[in-house]
Every structure is written in structure tokens, then in C-alpha cells.
Structure 1
């Protein structure tokens, strides 16, 4: 935890192509001002590729706080640029799954998230890394990258999370298991895998899946759904959603500061919902590298 208060000045940057971004941008700016947060500059970004440009500019100009509104991909692409700086990162969860907000205990409604920014506390957290790329919450191999690669943008925008889950069920029919190697040298272990989650936080796809992960544990968690039958992956997800003890029998977990991951064929890696890497890679934890605006009473 950080004893310093949250700043009262901020730059607001919203991905206007996120599910709720364009609709809520002006309302967010008004509500933040009413809550006592002075907005130095605000940007509604229609091209998501330019979002990080505005984040970089805000940090370089010494903004006390940067508020980013968008989905998990927008938030994750922003955190790299705050490492090594005193700028606080705050978020408005405007996406579909909002896994990072859930991990931090931030309310998913706009007013609740703004209340955290105005009245919450400054919290120092870890970030995950895939090779040299920082990320916020969870990177995955398996079905999630296939979904991210193929899901129609309009489906997510119109139907939200139910549409995303329906597309996931459809893509399950195309998915093939793979051979996974964890570690290197004589300590390496190879196993059959259906899905891999490289977690800094405990939520994935809007569901609490990796309950042993935490943003301030100092460790990365690699959770592997083992086996070769696609039905086992579906059962693992169902058991996890329902918090059944049986879920633990479908997976293995590996914990550490740095873990090498390879597959029998090059596979795409979804980093907080965006396809940004391929196997093999090294997963790392970056210990206590950024400050975030977190709820005052919750410590997830």
C-alpha cells in the first residue's frame, strides 16, 4: 500500500472504439470534475493504436495521474508507459470482460469507478511480462488467442459478454490441444495442454479463474488446463465459474519470478485480449512497478 494520496489532477484518455467508450466519454469528464478531479486534458481516441501516444505524452508532460477508459487491451497497452514514472494509473472499465478492473476490485459501473479515482487509495502493484512486454492481468495460450483473432468486433459491441462467450463456444470446435514445455534444461516438464494462463491477476475473461494470483504477490502464476479432450476444457471453465473443488483436478499450476514457456508448434499469445506475441517466450513478474488508483477498503 502507498501512504500518499491520489492526485487531484489528471489527463483523461478514452478508447472511443471500446464497447462503451464513445457513449460515456463526455459523461466521464463531467463526473470526474464534479467529484473534484481536475481534468488537465481529455482525448476521445477513435484509433486505438494512437491511445498509447496520448499516454506517453501525458506521462512525459508530468501528469500526476492518467485515467484510461477502455477494455483490457487498452489498459494493458497503457501500463508499459508508466513504469519508472511517478504518474498514477487510473482506469474506467469500458470493455467487455473488464478482468483487470475486477482483479483490482474496481466497480464496473462508471460512477463507481469514478468514486475510486476520487476517493480511493494509491496502491503499488506488480505487472506481468512476456519477454520485454509489460502487461496488466493475464496472458493466454490456446482457445483465447483463437477467439481474439476471429471474433467480429460488431458482435462484442452489440451483444457484449454473452456474445463473446457464444463465439468462444463456437471456436471450441476448431481448437486443437498442444504439447507444452514449462522450464528449461533438466528441470523442464512437458505435458499435454488445452489452455495456459500466465496470470498476474486472478480474473480471465471476466471470470475468477486463477484464484492464487495477485497483483502484489511478487510471483507470476502459470496455470495449465491439462489433457487432450476439448470437453475437459469446457468442464474446467464450468467448474471454475461455479467455484467447484473439481476444477483443481483439471489443471496444474507453476509459480515463480521467471518461467520459460514453449510449445510443440509456434502459437499466438493473447495478452489481455490482444494478440501480441508467439511461443516460445519467458514470463516474468515486474515487482511493484506502478501505482494505481484502487478502492479504499478493498485489497483483492
Structure 2
């Protein structure tokens, strides 16, 4: 079935605190307009807490497309405003890892991302959920939330993924494994774990972590690093970063529509890079929840 073309009218909202947001706001605005996108409004938001409010106002005004520039946290914090609305969600990847953009096959440079918005197509995708909170790409518990909650903003902004890596080494010294229970409503699985990823797409932290997760399967993927060893967790990230043949040797994956996750001790949950929940929690899929702009050849 042929889908409707992407709208030519849009509202641009950029997180000016994201790694590249402030520097690229003016260029993004100019490139979009030169490519034929008519911006009915454009906002460089300096307080990240106000981005969702700006998106909500844009959707309420009847904007057929909202373009959000920022990192994965900015996107996840705004996507709730588009669920159930006749409004296309378009992405300018201006963050550190840009995992959601990678999942959608978007170019990571500004020119290519603008071209996808101006000349691409619509794609209906799933969203993940932690309890009632929607997310675009991935949630996690274990070491990742500790890193995301404490990493200095300047380290992340100027060193990017290298900054995350350096901070991860520091955080690992005070981290302990936890007992994990995964319940799909039929069966419980119990194990020790050092990290759990709840994936709507294959990327997390800019690294492709799963061969099974995708944004249009109607299922959520729960991936656990099994065991109590820090070395296993470090090897898992290393092996997946370099896509080694035995990269999944220390992980177990579970696919389904809903899982109840509990831990001992309780763990904080990072949702697309922002620590917003804690266990116990329910991870589930919201099938076909929104439409996004993707490259025409995707």
C-alpha cells in the first residue's frame, strides 16, 4: 500500500544543550528551508526540560511534522506527545550516540539528515514502553544508568562516546551484579546479571547490540548480560563494538510483547539515556505507535 508523502510544512525544535545542537541550529534551519521544507516555527531550546512542552505546543497547533534536533534523550522525552496524533516525527541527530538515528538508517551528518526529511518517506514504527513511559530506542539497567546519571556534561559534550567509555571505567569500580527475574506471564527466568538492555531497536550507546531487535516487529527484546563478572560485561561491549563472531556468548535474549522485570537489589532504569524509572517495572511494546521520516531508499 502506498503511503502519503512527507509533509512540506514543519516546526523545528532543537535542543541547544545537546552535543551539537547550539552550533547547528542556524545551519539546520537554513538547510531545511533551502531543501523545500517550510518552517512555520523554529526554536532553539536552551532548557532541555522545556523541549517536550515545545513539541506539545507544535502538535496542538496542527503542525503536520515536528523536527526534533538533539540526542536520544531529547527524542525519547518528546515522543509521548506524538503517540496517537496525525503528526510525523522527524529527527536531526545532534547528540552523542544517536542510536535512534542509526536504527532508522538516517545519515548522521546534518546535510544527509535534512535530505531525508525533505525528500524521504514515512515509516510507521513501534515504540518501547517502561510502564507508561514511551521510549524510541532502548532502556537499560545496571552500569549504564550509573554512567548516564553521573557523567559530567562537558565530558560527554566534548569527548562524545570516548567520554562515556572513560566514565564507564570509573563507575565500574563501585558497581555490583544483581539478581534478575524476567517474567513474560507464562514463565519466570532467574539469573545473575550485570546489565539488562530493553531494546526497541538494535543500537544502544551508538553500538549495535542485537541482531534481533527492530522498530517494526511488534516485539520488545530484553537482553541480559549473564553472570556476576565485570570482565564479562566489558568483553560484551568490546565484542559488540567490533562485531566479533562470539559477541553474544555472555548474553541471553528474550522476545515478546511484555515482560515484568524485577531485581534484587532494586535497579534504576535509564530510558534512552535518562534515568527515569526503577525496578520492578513492566517493559512492553507499543506497536505502530508513530510515523517517522526516513530516507527514501530505506
TM-score by length of 1: 0.97
Shift of 1:169: 2.0
Greater shift in the superposed pair: 120-129 or 159-168: 159-168
**Residue aligned with 2:249, SS:** helix
Shift of 1:184: 6.2
Match of 1:33 in 2: 33
RMSD over aligned CA atoms reads 1.1
Match of 1:150 in 2: 150
Q: Is the 8 A contact 1:147 1:167 kept in 2?
A: yes
Q: Is the 8 A contact 2:99 2:207 kept in 1?
A: yes
Could you list the runs of 5+ residues in structure 2 that have no partner in the other structure?
Answer: none
Match of 1:81 in 2: 81
Deviations 1:173-205, CA, capped at 9 Å, x for gaps? 221110000006772111000110000000010
Q: Distance in 2 between matches of 1:276 and 1:195?
A: 17
Q: Is the 8 A contact 2:193 2:227 kept in 1?
A: yes
Match of 2:70 in 1: 70
**Residue aligned with 2:22, SS:** helix
Q: Distance in 2 between matches of 1:185 and 1:122?
A: 34
**1:35–1:189 distance in 2 versus 1, CA, 3 Å:** same
Q: Is the 8 A contact 1:28 1:110 kept in 2?
A: yes
Q: Distance in 2 between matches of 1:71 and 1:238?
A: 23
Could you list the runs of 5+ residues in structure 1 that have no partner in the other structure?
Answer: none
Greater shift in the superposed pair: 265-274 or 158-167: 158-167
Q: Distance in 2 between matches of 1:123 and 1:189?
A: 35
After the TM superposition, which segments of 4 or more aligned residues of structure 1 sit over 3 Å from their partners?
none
Deviations 1:106-143, CA, capped at 9 Å, x for gaps? 01110010000001110000000000110000000011
**Residue aligned with 2:53, SS:** helix
Q: Is the 8 A contact 2:64 2:87 kept in 1?
A: yes
Q: Is the 8 A contact 2:225 2:233 kept in 1?
A: yes
Match of 2:259 in 1: 259
Q: Is the 8 A contact 2:184 2:256 kept in 1?
A: no
**Mapping of 1:1-300 within 5 angstroms?**
3-183=3-183, 187-298=187-298
Deviations 1:250-297, CA, capped at 9 Å, x for gaps? 010111001110001221100000001000000010000100001111
TM-score by length of 2: 0.98
Q: Distance in 2 between matches of 1:123 and 1:266?
A: 37
**1:184–1:295 distance in 2 versus 1, CA, 3 Å:** closer
Q: Distance in 2 between matches of 1:172 and 1:4?
A: 48
Shift of 1:211: 1.9
Deviations 1:138-167, CA, capped at 9 Å, x for gaps? 000011100011100011112122112111
**Residue aligned with 2:176, SS:** coil
Q: Distance in 1 between matches of 2:47 and 2:248?
A: 41
